[in-house]
C-alpha cells in the first residue's frame, strides 16, 4: 500500500478538523495545558503574545525551538508555531521539529518585503493572514492550506477582524453573482490567481478553512466572528493577558460551539474577571499597525 | 431517515454535506434535546479532548450513551476515540464500543497520509481512498466489536459493533459516498 504524505488534502484536512474550535496563543507548557484543559482544539506556541511584542518592540522572530518542543510534549492537541513572512529557513526549522502547522505571520517582523514563502515545497501545512479576498487567494496560490483574518493582533479590539472578515465574505458573495466572463477581469483587479477565483465562485466559499484572528478578547467577540461566517477563532493575547485565563479560555470555547445561542452566550459571559486591557485601533498611529504587513 | 451530526467541534459540516448529497435529512446536535427523533448519529473528526470536554459541560455524555444502546452511531477519527473504552489518557469517553485506541498513532501532522484500502464490506467500486489526519489506530478490538479494515501491517483502522461504527480515517473528506451509504444501512 502506498502512503502519500504532505498532500494538499491532508494539509487542508487538518484545518478542517480544527473547525468550530478555538486556537490559543501560549508561551509556556503550563499555558498549553490550561488551554487544552479548557477545550482548545490547538495551540500556537510562541515566546511572546502579540500584546507583549507590541509593548516591547524590537525584531520579533521565530520562537526558540526548545520552547516549542516543550509545548509539543505538554499537550496531545496540534501545536502551531509562527515564522516571519518570507523566512523560509525559519519554516524549515519548524518543519524539522515537527510542528503541526506553521503560521507565516505578520505579527513577527517580516523577513521579505515582496515575497511570501513558497509553501508548496513543505510537507507541513501553513496558515496565513489576509485582509481581503485577493490576499487570501494569493496566499492559497502560494500553498497556504488555511486562511485567517489578520485583524489587529495584540489589541483586544475586534474591529479589524470584523473588517477583514466582512471584506472576504462580502467579496465572495459578490463573486458568486458574477458572470463567468467577468472572472478574469476580477482576478486581475484583486491580484488573485484565476483558477482560485473560479473555484471560489463555484464553492461559494474559500477553498480552504477560514478562521478569525486579531483582536478577539471575549466570548461575544468569538461568537460574533462565527455568526459572520468564520470557521473558527484564534485567540492570541486575549486569554493569557486577562484576569482569569482558564475561565475565559473555557468560556470562549463554549461560545464558539454555541455561537448561535444567546442564552448560552449570556451564561458563559458571566463573571469572567478582567478582560485584557486592550488598545483602541481607531486611535492607533498607522506606524504601529501590523495588519499592513504582507503582500 | 434523519441523521444527526454532533456539532460541538470538528468537520461536522463535511458530514452534513455528504448526507445531504445522499438525500438524507440532517440535524446538528449540540445539546441533549437535539437527539430527539434521530435514527442515527455521526461524531465527526476534530479534537477528541475538545469534543469530550464540551460533551461533559453540556450534559451530553449520558444521553449519547443511551442513544447508542438502540441506535446507530459512527465516529470518524476523534469520533472513534470518543466511542472507545480507553484512549490511554484521562479524557471523557463514551465507552460504547469494545475498542481501545492509540491517539496520533502515526505521528504528527507531517505523517498524515492518504492511501488506497481494500474494504470488501463496501462491495463494488474498487479500492477505497482513505484520508488519515493525525489519526488514531484501534489498538485492540474485543468483546462484541469486530475489525472491519486493517492496514497491510495489520493495524486496525475500522471496526463495527452492531449498529456502532468506528473509523480512523475520514470518508467525509472524500467524494466517495460508499462509507456513508454503509452507515445508513446500519441506521435504517
pLDDT at A35: 98
Instruction: Determine which of A8, A12, A13, A208 to mutate to test the interface with B (most B C-beta atoms within 10 Å).
Output: A13
Please give the C-alpha separations between residue A87 and each of A57, A84, A118, A149, in angstroms, as whole numbers: 19, 5, 10, 20
CB burial of B145-178 (b: ≥16 within 10 Å; e: otherwise) equals beebbbbeeeebbbbbbebbbbbbbbbbbbebbb
Interface residues of chain B, partner chain A, Cβ below 8 Å? 7-14, 30, 45-47, 49-50, 53-54, 57, 77-78, 89, 103-104, 107-117, 131-134, 151-152, 170, 173
The pLDDT tens digits of the residues spanning A52-105 come to 998 898 999 999 999 999 999 999 999 999 999 999 999 999 999 999 999 999
With an 8 Å Cβ cutoff, are A19 and B10 in contact? yes
Residue with cell 472572472: A183
Q: What percent of chain A has pLDDT over 90?
A: 95
pLDDT at B117: 94
Asked if ipTM goes beyond 0.90, one says yes
With an 8 Å Cβ cutoff, are B132 and A123 in contact? no
Q: Which of A2, A5, A258 sits opposite B110 (nearest CB)?
A: A5
Spatial separation of the C-alpha atoms in residues A127 and B8, rounded to whole Å: 23
Cα of B73 to nearest chain A Cα, Å: 19
Spatial neighbors of A82 by CB under 8 A, at least 6 apart, are A44, A46, A62, A63, A102, A103, A104, A105, A107, A108
**Which phi-psi region, left, alpha or beta, contains residue A76 (left: φ > 0; alpha: ψ -120 to 50)?**
alpha
pLDDT at A219: 98
List of chain B residues whose C-beta atoms are within 8 Å of the C-beta of residue A41: 9, 46-47, 50
Q: Are B46 and B10 in contact (CB under 8 A)?
A: yes
Q: Search chain A and give the residue with CA nearest B53.
A: A39
The pLDDT tens digits of the residues spanning A257-291 come to 999 999 999 999 999 999 888 889 999 998 889 99
Whether the per-residue pLDDT at B124 is higher than 90: the answer is: no
Phi/psi for B31 (5° steps) reads -135, 160
List of chain B residues whose C-beta atoms are within 8 Å of the C-beta of residue A76: 49, 89, 103-104
Q: Which of B77, B129, B139, B144 is flagged as catalytic? A: B77
What is the three-class DSSP state of B45?
coil
Q: Residue range A216-232: average pLDDT?
A: 98
Q: How big, in percent rounded to 5, are the helix, strand and coil portions of chain B? A: 30, 30, 40
pLDDT at A242: 93
Whether the per-residue pLDDT at A215 is higher than 80: the answer is: yes
The pLDDT tens digits of the residues spanning B136-159 come to 999 999 999 999 999 999 999 999
Cα of B71 to nearest chain A Cα, Å: 25
Whether the per-residue pLDDT at A1 is higher than 80: the answer is: no
Q: Which of A82, A119, A150, A241 is flagged as catalytic? A: A82
What is the number of other CB atoms lying within 10 angstroms of the CB of residue B98? 18
Q: Is B77 annotated as catalytic?
A: yes
Q: Are A76 and A96 in contact (CB under 8 A)?
A: no
pLDDT at A267: 98
pLDDT at A287: 87
Q: Which of B14, B15, B170, B180 is flagged as catalytic? A: B170
Supply the pTM of this predicted model.
0.97
Q: Residue range B110-132: average pLDDT?
A: 94
Q: Which of A9, A98, A125 sits opposite B173 (nearest CB)?
A: A9
The overall average pLDDT reported for chain B is 97
The overall average pLDDT reported for chain A is 96
The beta strand positions in chain B, using DSSP E, are 2-6, 25-29, 40-43, 72-76, 99-102, 113-117, 128-132, 137-141, 146-150, 156-161, 164-167
Three-state secondary structure of chain A:
CCCEECCHHHHHHHHHHHCCCEEEEECCHHHHHHHHHHCCCEEEECCCCHHHHHHHCCCCCCCCHHHHHHHHHHCCCCEEEEEECCCHHHHHHHHHHCCCEEEEECCCCCCCCCCCCCHHHCCCCEEEEECCHHHHHHHHHCCCCEEEECCCCCCCCCHHHHHHHHHHHHHHHHHHCCCHHHHHHHHHHHCCCHHHHHHHHHHCCCCCEEEECCCCCCHHHHHHHHHHCCCCEEECHHHHCCCCHHHHHHHHHHHHHCCCCHHHHHHHCCCCCCCCCCCCHHHCCHHHCCCCCCC
Residue with cell 471523557: B92
pLDDT at B167: 98
With an 8 Å Cβ cutoff, are B47 and A17 in contact? yes
List of chain B residues whose C-beta atoms are within 8 Å of the C-beta of residue A40: 50
Kindly state the DSSP code that residue B128 receives in the 8-state scheme. Answer: E
Spatial separation of the C-alpha atoms in residues B164 and B158, rounded to whole Å: 11
With an 8 Å Cβ cutoff, are B103 and A76 in contact? yes
pLDDT at B29: 98
Q: Is A12 annotated as catalytic?
A: no
Q: Residue A2 — very low, low, confident or very high, per pLDDT cuts 50/70/90?
A: confident
Kindly state the DSSP code that residue B22 receives in the 8-state scheme. Answer: T
Amino acid at each position: 500500500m502506498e502512503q502519500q504524505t504532505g498532500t494538499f488534502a491532508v494539509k487542508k484536512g487538518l484545518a478542517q478538523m480544527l473547525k468550530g474550535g478555538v486556537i490559543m496563543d501560549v508561551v509556556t507548557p503550563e499555558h498549553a495545558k490550561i488551554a487544552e484543559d479548557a477545550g482548545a482544539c490547538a495551540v500556537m506556541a510562541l515566546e511572546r503574545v502579540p500584546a507583549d511584542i507590541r509593548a516591547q518592540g524590537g525584531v520579533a522572530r521565530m520562537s526558540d525551538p526548545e520552547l516549542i518542543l516543550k509545548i509539543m510534549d505538554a499537550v496531545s492537541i496540534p501545536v502551531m508555531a509562527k515564522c516571519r513572512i518570507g523566512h523560509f529557513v525559519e519554516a524549515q526549522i519548524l518543519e524539522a521539529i515537527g510542528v503541526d502547522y506553521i503560521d507565516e505571520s505578520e505579527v513577527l517582523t517580516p523577513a521579505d518585503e515582496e515575497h511570501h514563502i513558497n509553501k508548496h515545497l513543505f510537507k507541513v501545512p501553513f496558515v496565513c493572514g489576509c485582509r481581503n479576498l485577493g490576499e487570501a487567494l494569493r496566499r492559497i496560490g502560494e500553498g497556504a492550506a488555511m486562511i485567517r483574518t489578520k485583524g489587529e493582533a495584540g489589541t483586544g479590539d475586534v474591529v479589524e477582524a470584523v473588517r477583514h472578515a466582512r471584506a472576504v465574505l462580502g467579496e465572495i458573495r459578490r463573486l458568486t453573482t458574477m458572470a463567468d466572463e467577468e472572472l478574469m477581469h476580477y482576478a486581475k483587479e484583486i491580484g488573485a490567481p484565476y483558477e482560485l477565483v473560479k473555484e471560489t465562485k463555484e464553492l461559494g466559499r474559500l477553498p480552504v478553512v477560514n478562521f478569525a484572528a486579531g483582536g478577539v478578547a471575549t466570548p461575544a467577540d468569538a461568537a460574533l466572528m462565527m455568526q459572520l461566517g468564520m470557521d473558527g477563532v484564534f485567540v492570541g493575547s486575549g486569554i493569557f493577558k486577562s484576569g482569569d485565563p482558564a475561565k475565559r479560555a473555557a468560556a470562549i470555547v463554549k461560545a464558539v460551539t454555541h455561537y448561535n445561542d444567546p442564552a448560552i452566550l449570556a451564561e458563559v459571559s458571566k463573571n469572567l474577571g478582567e478582560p485584557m486591557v486592550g488598545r483602541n485601533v481607531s486611535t492607533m498611529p498607522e506606524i504601529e499597525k501590523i495588519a499592513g504587513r504582507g503582500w | 431517515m434523519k441523521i444527526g451530526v454532533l456539532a460541538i467541534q470538528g468537520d461536522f459540516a463535511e458530514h452534513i454535506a455528504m448526507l445531504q448529497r445522499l438525500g438524507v435529512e440532517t440535524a446538528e446536535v449540540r445539546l441533549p434535546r437535539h437527539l430527539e427523533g434521530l435514527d442515527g448519529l455521526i461524531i465527526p473528526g476534530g479534537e477528541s479532548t475538545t469534543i469530550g470536554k464540551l460533551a461533559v459541560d453540556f450534559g451530553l455524555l449520558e444521553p449519547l450513551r443511551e442513544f447508542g444502546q438502540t441506535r446507530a452511531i459512527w465516529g470518524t477519527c476523534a469520533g472513534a476515540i470518543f466511542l472507545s473504552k480507553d484512549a490511554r489518557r484521562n479524557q471523557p469517553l463514551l465507552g460504547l464500543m469494545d475498542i481501545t485506541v492509540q491517539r496520533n498513532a502515526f505521528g504528527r501532522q507531517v505523517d498524515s497520509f492518504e492511501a488506497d484500502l481494500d474494504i470488501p464490506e463496501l462491495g463494488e467500486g474498487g479500492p477505497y481512498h482513505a484520508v488519515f489526519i493525525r489519526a488514531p489506530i484501534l489498538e485492540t478490538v474485543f468483546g462484541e466489536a469486530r475489525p472491519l479494515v486493517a492496514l497491510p501491517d495489520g493495524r486496525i483502522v475500522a471496526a463495527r459493533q452492531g449498529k456502532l461504527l468506528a473509523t480512523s480515517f475520514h470518508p467525509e473528506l472524500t467524494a466517495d459516498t460508499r462509507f456513508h451509504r454503509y452507515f445508513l444501512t446500519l441506521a435504517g
